[in-house]
Chains A and B, each alone.
Chain A
Amino acid sequence: MSQAESLPVLKTSVHDLKYLSAVLRGVNFATRATITVTKTGLVVVVEESRTLLGTAYVFADVFDEFTYHPEVTEGQSSQQPTIQEEETDYCSAFEISLNTFMECMNIYGTASGSSSKSGKLKPFKNYGDESNGPESDDDQAEGAQDRGDKRSKPGGGRSEHFFGGSERGTGMRLTYIGPGFPLTVTLAQDASGPTTTCEIPTFDAEPHLELPFDSEKMVLKIILKSSWLRDALSELDSSCDKLAFIGNPPEIPEAGAQTARQRQRARMQAKPNFRIEAAGSFGNTEARFIRRMDYPNDRDVLESFECVNPVSFSYRFSHIARTMRALQTSVKTSLRIDDEGLLSLQFLMPSSTSRLNSGGGTSNFIEFRCLALEDDT
């Protein structure tokens, strides 16, 4: 034990945990999360219903201090062969309750502007809460102001909001000694304030769902500003149960269309490049409704658009709703679908500007992969 203590697997510290907590909040929807520690940072993986996989990449430069010592193979009898195998790649994985970790980080109510709400996070949250995200965020921001702090709402999406404000942030130190030891979180606000030590038990990492995305088989790729997708998704009724992403290849403008009016008409008639359709049923009447959101192939909206053949895949709305929190924090979204309908949503997080070495820092991002519903055509 003393030997292990002398070389903890992970030892990190951060002077303000707001950014870290904002990133992790994006994947805080399952009870257990697998945290993989590598030299370059942390990878947090959560999954739901063997269908949705959320991965948050937090690079080491988010932390003020990040020391990682790969587990020592010899001298530790409890080591399992799989872990030893992983060690050749120099990474250590463990499972924790992410929600508990988030609660601990928010013990002073400083991890987010939404302290009261995040505390009530339940696994079976009503989708409506999430799809109405921007509104509820406003409420939260108001609540935050009531308490006299000037933090901006999490949906603001700009990193200075995470660090701005006169209030001093909460510093955090994370220590993970090794397998069988808890994750120790130490939190302090300032010298006169209290110090909090949390010990969160860790579990051996279970193998989780693997959803490899083969970019060779990609049939749709869109890069767009997160705010556009966020607005679109939050417009959808929360009672929907299915959501389809539909892509159409850009049409070549007619050769004869010379005048501006003709071109405009052609544009009006052209199929939209990207469409989101949500379907649900109202009570017993089985009335179906479809709401369409059409995106013109406009540079302002779609930063990049790749689609060869028309594609349409449906997903469970509840799964897409899980991504809302990450979407709200992110600045840019990459949406990719492969030929089997596997959806990959990558959300680029704002970079942590307050870091001194942020000049060329790697951007943190959250990726969701989701399997398509089968019965849909």
Chain B
Amino acid sequence: MRFRANIDNVTTLYRIMQCVEKLQKKCIIKFTEETMHVICNNEANEGGIQVWSQIKRDAIFSNYRIQSNSNNEITVHISSEALMGALKSASASATTSNSASGSSYDTEEVIVKLAKKNDQAVLNIEIIGSTSVGRRVRVAHDVKIEVMKPVDVARLTEPMCPEPDIHIILPPLQKLRTIVERMRNMAEILAIQANHNGCLKLSIHTESVKIETEWQNLSIPQMMKENSSQDNTDARPDPENLFSVLVSIKSFVKFLSSHVVSTTTIACICQNHCLILYVYIGDVADAGGVLTFYVPAIIDDE
């Protein structure tokens, strides 16, 4: 089992880990020949939110080499916080914003590789840089990992969801976040509604207040799927008809922490089932990857 790569885009990887870390202490990373998958599927995770992401190899790595007995795939359990810490020390100097951490060197190269130290599998992250006076520095982090058995890997499955009732492109997540954070102070359940006219409504309804924020004229992406076009022909939905889903505000806020990586986000509502959010890293056209958030619906008994 071998794995070695240069991390070219430390900042993006760091930001991805930032969002993941908000959800779970430990996450699963699966390296394949072409992609990296970051998965959070912990059942114990509060609110049941899951993240399944696919990041293209070339968006982050170069000189990528992978070899294993299971179809050249390596799947590991890793502490998201520890990995974030290691990446921070690599990216801090790159962004020159972190003088507090004492890293006064410029990162030149970051190499990640699979290693074994005292019978413990680790992900070794090596940062090579130079100080302001030109001296070379080498910083190495070992992040403990647990390599998953192929049997367990096979058991990892994405949540099954019905065909979404609607897809809609969300307004900038930063703006959504301001609003949802206000709402979080007042309620626990958020209702999300959207229709084919590009209207999106976020609302809370409690004894003490009723708030509804509405966006108009958002884009509805055209889904290029054969079966959906068939559906459209036999029953074109009323564009005014609102599809809605109730989710926990806390979970939704966790998803919104992904605003640091997002450019475009598509939300899909599966009524009474879940909310699916595709967060594109980089341009949609040549997205480096997609983070997919599954937020389970809260079924209202009323």
Give chain A's interface residues, CB within 8 Å of chain B: 97, 100, 103-104, 106-109, 115, 119-120, 182, 192-201
Q: Could you give, for residues 171-182 of chain B, a 1 whenever the CB lies within 8 Å of some chain A CB and a 0 otherwise?
A: 100010011011
Whether A197 pairs with B212 at a CB distance below 8 angstroms is yes
Q: How far is the CB of B195 from chain A (nearest CB, A)?
A: 15
Chain A residue nearest to B215 in the complex (CB):
A194
Whether B211 pairs with A198 at a CB distance below 8 angstroms is yes
Whether A106 pairs with B182 at a CB distance below 8 angstroms is yes
A289 to B263, CA, bound (A): 57
Chain B residue nearest to A109 in the complex (CB):
B178
Query: Which B180-213 residues have C-beta < 8 A from chain A?
Result: 181-183, 185-186, 207-213
Q: Is B214 in the interface zone, CB < 8 Å from A?
A: yes
A100 to B204, CA, bound (A): 13
A97 to B178, CA, bound (A): 21
Whether B209 pairs with A104 at a CB distance below 8 angstroms is yes
Chain B residue nearest to A31 in the complex (CB):
B208
Answer whether A199 and B210 are a contact pair too, CB < 8 Å, given A109-B178, A115-B178, A119-B182. yes
Q: How far is the CB of A145 from chain B (nearest CB, A)?
A: 16
Chain A residue nearest to B213 in the complex (CB):
A196
Contact of A197 among B185, B208, B214 (CB under 8 A): B214
Q: Please give me the 6 A-B residue pairs with the lowest Cβ-Cβ distance, nearest first.
A: A199-B210, A196-B213, A109-B178, A194-B215, A198-B211, A107-B182
Whether A100 pairs with B209 at a CB distance below 8 angstroms is yes
Contact of A194 among B207, B209, B210, B214 (CB under 8 A): B214
Some 18 contacts from A to B, beta carbons below 8 A apart, are A97-B208, A97-B209, A103-B185, A103-B186, A104-B209, A104-B211, A107-B178, A107-B179, A108-B175, A108-B178, A119-B181, A194-B214, A195-B213, A196-B211, A196-B213, A197-B212, A200-B208, A201-B207
By a CB distance below 8 angstroms, the chain A residues around B175 are 108, 193
By a CB distance below 8 angstroms, the chain A residues around B209 are 97, 100, 103-104, 198-201
A195 to B171, CA, bound (A): 13
Q: Other CB < 8 Å A-B pairs besides A100-B209, A196-B213, A200-B209, 19 of them?
A: A97-B208, A103-B209, A104-B182, A108-B179, A109-B182, A119-B181, A119-B182, A119-B185, A182-B210, A192-B217, A193-B175, A193-B215, A194-B215, A195-B214, A196-B214, A197-B211, A198-B209, A200-B208, A201-B209
Answer whether A194 and B171 are a contact pair too, CB < 8 Å, given A108-B179, A200-B209. yes
A100 to B187, CA, bound (A): 11
Q: How far is the CB of A138 from chain B (nearest CB, A)?
A: 20
Q: How far is the CB of A137 from chain B (nearest CB, A)?
A: 20
By a CB distance below 8 angstroms, the chain B residues around A195 are 213-214
Contact of A107 among B207, B208, B213 (CB under 8 A): B213
By a CB distance below 8 angstroms, the chain A residues around B171 are 194
Query: Which B192-249 residues have C-beta < 8 A from chain A?
Result: 207-215, 217
Q: How far is the CB of B65 from chain A (nearest CB, A)?
A: 41
Chain A residue nearest to B184 in the complex (CB):
A119
By a CB distance below 8 angstroms, the chain B residues around A104 are 182, 209, 211
A200 to B213, CA, bound (A): 14
By a CB distance below 8 angstroms, the chain A residues around B208 are 97, 100, 200-201
Chain A residue nearest to B217 in the complex (CB):
A192
A106 to B182, CA, bound (A): 8
A109 to B185, CA, bound (A): 13
Chain A residue nearest to B200 in the complex (CB):
A194
By a CB distance below 8 angstroms, the chain B residues around A182 are 210
A51 to B65, CA, bound (A): 74
By a CB distance below 8 angstroms, the chain B residues around A103 are 182, 185-186, 209
A108 to B180, CA, bound (A): 9
Whether A107 pairs with B211 at a CB distance below 8 angstroms is yes
Whether A194 pairs with B178 at a CB distance below 8 angstroms is no
Query: Which B159-181 residues have C-beta < 8 A from chain A?
Result: 171, 175, 178-179, 181
Chain A residue nearest to B181 in the complex (CB):
A119
A115 to B186, CA, bound (A): 15
By a CB distance below 8 angstroms, the chain A residues around B211 are 104, 107, 196-199
Chain B residue nearest to A121 in the complex (CB):
B185
Whether A100 pairs with B186 at a CB distance below 8 angstroms is yes
A343 to B178, CA, bound (A): 40
Q: How far is the CB of A111 from chain B (nearest CB, A)?
A: 10
Q: How far is the CB of B177 from chain A (nearest CB, A)?
A: 9
Whether B210 pairs with A196 at a CB distance below 8 angstroms is no
By a CB distance below 8 angstroms, the chain B residues around A192 are 217
Whether B210 pairs with A198 at a CB distance below 8 angstroms is yes
By a CB distance below 8 angstroms, the chain A residues around B217 are 192
A100 to B182, CA, bound (A): 10
By a CB distance below 8 angstroms, the chain A residues around B178 are 107-109, 115
A165 to B215, CA, bound (A): 25
A303 to B109, CA, bound (A): 66
A193 to B178, CA, bound (A): 13
A184 to B124, CA, bound (A): 58
A199 to B182, CA, bound (A): 15
A256 to B22, CA, bound (A): 77
Chain A residue nearest to B177 in the complex (CB):
A109
A103 to B179, CA, bound (A): 10
